Amino acid sequence: EDKVVQSPLSLVVHEGDTVTLNCSYEVTNFRSLLWYKQEKKAPTFLFMLTSSGIEKKSGRLSSILDKKELFSILNITATQTGDSAIYLCAVEYSGYALNFGKGTSLLVTP
């Protein structure tokens, strides 16, 4: 059965800390892995990863995919309170379907 597992489910850190969020998957006919940040309503897109070992970076956020071990990590350095959100991982597979994980709820305290 196709599945996407995120860990941890929730995390509390202090401003300035670095966090690593994990996403592992088991899907047939993998196409891409996507990271989203959900703050209020619609999740906002962060990264799309299709190739192993190539880091994608946007400011303090970065992400990398390991297609051999079937996982991805999302790193956030020098966290700020504005990073508090739910981070969703989704895997696109055959037929262009999306399979979402349950999310990691991140709280950054001042």
Residues in touch with other proteins (CB under 8 A): 1, 36, 38-45, 85-86, 88, 90, 95-100, 102-103, 105
Q: Is 19 in contact with 37 (CB distance < 8 Å)?
A: no
Nearest distance, CB of residue 62 and other proteins, angstroms: 20
Give the nearer residue to other proteins in terms of CB position, either 70 or 86: 86
Element (H, E) at 45: strand 44-49
Residues in the chain, overall count: 110
**Hey, is 81 helix, strand or coil?**
helix
Give the nearer residue to other proteins in terms of CB position, either 28 or 68: 28
Nearest distance, CB of residue 92 and other proteins, angstroms: 9
Nearest distance, CB of residue 105 and other proteins, angstroms: 7
C-alpha distances in Å from residue 38, one per residue of 69, 74, 87, 101, 103: 26, 14, 6, 13, 9
Give the nearer residue to other proteins in terms of CB position, either 42 or 69: 42
